[in-house]
Amino acid sequence: MNSCLETIRDYALRSIGIGERLLPRADITLCEQFTLIGSGLIWNIYFGALALFFGFFLATAVALARGARNALLRKPAQWFIFVFRGSPLFIQFFLFYEAFVLLPKMGIDINLGFVEITAETRWLTRAWLGALIVLFLNTAAYSGEIFYGALRAVPQGDIEAADAYGLTGWRKFRRIVWPTMLRLAWPAYTNEAIFLFHATTLVYFSGFPAWQQKGDALYYANYFADKTFNPFIPYPILAGYFILLTLAIIAVFGLINRRLNRHLPQERRQMLRFRPNYIR
């Protein structure tokens, strides 16, 4: 038991480079497998949470552009959604990585007039930034489609009521359209969040190289399967962690859902249903 605590101390943060430098190589214990795979989960959460957070804003913009009357706005949004929803994430990772590698290594100087910023393009080939960008664009496309559907389902009466109260422009959007859209989109958006977290396992598996053996949960599960030649222990551990993660996401999104629906009479509150509407 004591040795397990030591293992946790050595490896719990290994995936972000803190702790023992070398991975366990021989006589691998269950404790080591649980600790390291759990450590890798930090990256899955990092990718999932940040992509979801940034993607949320882009998705709203994409949904509005997709519904715009102006073809200059509508067409690019339609194509963006079609390309990212119509192709496997696998291929998106590959193409983006190839493109990022081609960028000059030196960094690009951006002159903003008063201050000069050097954009470090070399970070783009690292998973923490490059993969995050791909996941961000990907989830923005999926959520954009969900939000667009919800936008079209906003009841006409709500809009008319807003007009009657004299709300216009930004205020009407912020106070009436947007909250209703979110409320309608929330069940499907919850699914998107779950699938995004599942998709983060592809980052090191097919997309980006792992540096200094710092990888996500699947990377370590793969490592142990490779070292022990027994796939029946590490992968079920990984599966167990993900079931817990999925439950946590459902709980958090359920809380937000309750808040979004708090003004509705009890029986009309939409039950948060976990239905598989969107995935990559």
Partner 1 sequence: MFSFCTDPASLPQLEWFACYLTTGKHMAFYGSFLVVLLLLLVTAPVALAFGFGGAMAARARFAPLRWFGKGYTAVVRGVPDIAFFMFFVIALDQGIEWLRHKIRCPDWEQPIRQGNDFVVCAQAKMPLSNAAQWVHEAYGFTLAVLTFSIVFGAFAANVLFGAMRAVPRAQVETAEAYGMTHRQAFWRITVPQMWIYALPGLSNLWMILIKATPLLFLLGVEDIVYWARELGGAKTSAYSYPHPDWRLWYFLALLVFYLGLTRVSEIVLGRITARLSHGQATLGGQALRKGAG
Partner 2 sequence: MRKFIIATTALALSAGLALAQETVRMGTEGAYPPYNFINDNGEVDGFERELGDELCKRAGLTCEWVTNDWDSIIPNLVSGNYDTIIAGMSITPERDEVIDFTQEYLPPEPSAYVALSPDVDLKGGVIAAQTGTIQAAYIAETGATLVEFATPDETIAAVKNGEADAVLADKSYLDPIVAESGGMLVFAGDPVPLGGGVGMGVRESDTELKEKFNQAISSMKADGTLNALIRKWFGEDAATF
Please count the residues of this chain forming the interface with partner 1, following the rule CB under 8 A: 42
213 binds partner 2 (CB under 8 A): yes
Q: Site for partner 2 (CB under 8 A): which residue of 209, 236, 270, 275?
A: 209
Residue selected from 147, 148, 197, 223 as contacting partner 2 according to rule CB under 8 A: 223
Structure tokens at 224: 């142990």
The residue among 241, 196, 242, 187 whose CA lies nearest residue 49 is 196
Q: Please check whether residue 19 is in contact with residue 7, taking contact to mean a CB–CB distance below 8 angstroms.
A: no
Q: How many residues bind partner 2 (CB under 8 A)?
A: 24
From partner 1, partner 2, none, which one binds at residue 30 (CB under 5 to 8 Å depending on kind)? none
Position 53 contacts partner 2 (CB under 8 A) = no
Instruction: Give, as ranges, the residues between 215 and 274 that touch partner 1 (CB under 8 A).
Output: 218, 221-222, 225, 229-232, 235-236, 238-239, 242-243, 246-247, 273-274
178-199 and 127-152 helices cross at what angle (nearest 10)? 140
Instruction: Report the C-alpha gap between 75 and 67 in whole angstroms.
Output: 10
Which 37-96 positions form the footprint of partner 1 (CB under 8 A)?
Answer: 82-83, 85-91, 94-95
Distance (Å, whole) CA 192 – CA 274: 10
Dmax over CA atoms of the chain, in Å, equals: 73
CA-to-CA separations, 134 to 9, 82, 131, in angstroms, rounded: 33, 15, 5
**Residue 17 within binding range of partner 2, rule CB under 8 A:** no
Long-range contacts of 113-118 (CB under 8 A, 24+ apart): none
Q: Does residue 214 bind partner 1 (CB under 8 A)?
A: no
Find the shortest distance in angstroms from Cβ 91 to partner 2. Answer: 14
Binding site for partner 2 (CB under 8 A): 21-23, 25-26, 101-102, 105, 125, 205-206, 209-213, 222-223, 225-227, 229-231
